[in-house]
Amino acid sequence: MNTISKEQLLQLAKCTLAITTIFLTACGDIKEVDIGEICGNWVSTTGKPDVLIFKEGDIFKLTLFRKKSVTRKIKPETFLIVQENDNLFINTGFRIDIAYNEVTDVLTFSPNGDYTRASEK
């Protein structure tokens, strides 16, 4: 049977404390998304349909402006934005996560890519 020396035990305790500190620091940096900051018109950087995020009463919604394949007419589809454990998503039949980068003002829809805020005309 192998035994751990005092030095090894002390080194293990130091490493455990360092890792715990890193995890606690990382968790402290998480900021809850203010959904009101993402309201507005958004344009895809990869040619996906445009979206509009808006508040209706106490809830937030996302409207997707999709073109019908045959007629090429725009057909808006609206979905409820759900906030669960500080994560945003919409349910279109499957979950699409929404992440917001406040510094660059970019929305990321997983798996649909990045969207930038449409310039005001």
- 23-69 pLDDT, tens digit per residue, is 555 554 445 567 889 999 999 999 888 999 999 999 999 999 877 77
The per-residue pLDDT of the chain, averaged, comes to: 82
Residue 87's alpha-carbon distances to 33, 74, 98, in angstroms, are 8, 29, 7
Which residue is listed with tokens 């039949």? 93
Q: Quote the pLDDT of residue 114.
A: 95
- 74-85 pLDDT, tens digit per residue, is 889 999 999 988
Confidence of residue 121 (pLDDT cuts 50, 70, 90): very low
Q: What is the mean pLDDT of residues 2-23?
A: 68
